[in-house]
Amino acid sequence: MQEHKVSMLGTGLIGMFYTMSLNGGRGRDRVQLVYSRTEERARAFAEEWGIPAWTTDLTEACTSDDIDTVVIGLPNHIHEECVDLAAAAGKAILCTKPLGRTAAEAKRMMDKVETTGVFGGYLEDLCYTPKTLKAIASVEEGALGHVTWACSRETHPGPHSDWFWDLEQAGGGAIVDLGCHCIEIVRSFIGKDIRPVEVMCWADTLVHPIDAEDNGIALIRFENGAIGQFEVSWSFRGGMDLRDEVAGTEGTIWLNHFLRTGYEMYTSGAGAGYVAEKAESESGWLFPVGDEVVELGYNDMFDDMFNALDQGSEPRETFYDGYIVNAVIDACYRSASSRQWEPVQLEVWRGRENVPLIRDSRGQQAAAAVEPDPAEALAAAAGLTILKQERMPGGQIKVIMKNEETGELSQEIIENA
């Protein structure tokens, strides 16, 4: 396992979380240089986290001989400049979400990394939370059968830095800030090799006097018929709500990552202090988070990134994934404007082609029964397709079936089943 010397670009909340994770993660990788746009902040951050050197020169931060990896935790409009500088210097590049403000910007960054041959990792932390990783593994093992619907929700009272609220710097509002998380979570459950085809999106500015949207909801249709859904808001009150739901032909998963983690506390406010990211109150019923860098996926994310870098392989999240996410976001904004389904426009697609609809490939993931299923036997004997079977209160099994040739529906009761 190599020891990586990291240049941290950014001293805001994300830079802090990244540094906490790196300096306490695998045990050998360390932040050796930190960049901030102000000397005061750069010096203070370096002193607080024991970082040997600091700079206000972006070129130095991206090209210094003292580092081998650049971690980008800066505002969205600076990402591409950082990638260009670091790639030209042959540095490994890890970039925070979203990769770009648009798909075109993200593709230029992806192309730069791939043509120069440097390592590129997309820092999408919420795909690395312990619960998410375990849930994805269950889906990949077939526990849910074919995933038909995946919904991801991220809502909170609004971003922590001024640039997020600026349309030009950020490239959008709540959708580009929070929807990028949700889109990649949805892709991870439905299958990143399944093409997102089209989007229907609503977005509006309901509360804040800004040019960007502070609320958004979208449906994303995938080639196999599965539907992804996201709900995002900068006006949700009560903290940060991170939840995912996944439904499949053989099961369901519900995930709650932040507001309900099993730690609840009431206080009069006598010992006021930091509770958790985006928490709005320091008194009353509170929902602290035991270890935010673990719960939010930062540790597992950086382990994956640096292990892949050492092994010469791709991480779970790549610049290509960031490009796909930006392409879906672009379609969301077009749809919010047109109020119609809008296609996801992809110049580059590396997934599967001509994927059959779920309804046309049903049964492929069904586990073989140890004993013959009486409902299956009944349907097979009659040449019918089972729509549903259900155990009734009296113990019998009701089977609802369809004749595929005539469309006729019927039902049978199996006694003593």
The domain spans of the chain are: 5-124, 127-293+314-343, 368-414
Type of residue found at 21: S
Provide the token pair at 203: 């977005």
- For 150, the 3-state DSSP assignment is strand
**What's the sign of the alpha-carbon dihedral 263, 265, 271, 276?**
positive
Report the distance separating Cα 258 and Cα 365, nearest Å: 32
CATH topology classification for 5-124: Rossmann fold (3.40.50)
6-26 pLDDT, tens per residue? 999 999 999 999 999 998 765
**Region of residue 165 (left: phi > 0; alpha: psi -120 to 50; beta: else):** alpha
Residues near 108 by beta carbon (within 8 Å), at least 6 away in sequence: 80, 100
* Beta-sheet strands, E only, within 160-307: 196-204, 215-222, 227-233, 241-248, 252-256, 265-267, 284-286
- Decide: 208 and 236 in contact? Cβ < 8 Å: no
Strands 5-9 and 69-72: parallel
| Tens-binned pLDDT, residue by residue, of the chain (417 aa) | 789 999 999 999 999 999 999 987 656 789 999 999 999 999 999 999 999 999 999 999 999 999 999 999 999 999 999 999 999 999 999 999 999 999 999 999 999 999 999 999 999 999 999 999 999 999 999 999 999 999 999 999 999 899 999 999 999 999 999 999 999 999 999 999 999 999 999 999 999 999 999 999 999 999 999 999 999 999 999 889 999 999 999 999 999 998 877 788 888 877 667 777 777 788 888 888 888 889 899 999 999 999 999 999 999 999 999 999 999 999 999 999 999 999 999 999 999 999 999 988 765 444 444 456 788 888 888 899 999 888 888 888 999 999 999 999 999 999 876
Residue-level length of the chain: 417
Tell me, rounded to whole angstroms, the distance of Cα 25 from its chain centroid.
21
Q: What are all long-range contacts of 199-202, with beta carbons under 8 Å and residues at least 24 apart?
A: 199/328, 199/331, 199/332, 199/334, 199/335, 199/341, 199/342, 199/344, 200/335, 200/340, 200/341, 200/342, 201/175, 201/331, 201/332, 201/333, 201/335, 201/336, 201/342, 202/336
The CA distance from 25 to 19, in Å, is 9
* DSSP track, 173-194: SHIIIIIHHHHHHHHHHH-TTS
The 10s digit of each residue's pLDDT in 345-404 is 999 999 999 999 998 876 544 444 445 678 888 888 889 999 988 888 888 899 999 999
User: Is residue 83 helix, strand or coil?
Assistant: helix
0.85 surpassed by pTM: yes
- Residue 120: closest CA among 169, 175, 80, 75: 80
Distance of alpha carbon 84 from alpha carbon 33, whole angstroms: 19
Domain 127-293+314-343 falls under CATH 3.30.360.10:
yes
DSSP 373: -
Which helix (H) or strand (E) segment holds residue 131: the answer is helix 130-140
As a whole number of angstroms, the distance between CA 100 and CA 111 comes to 13
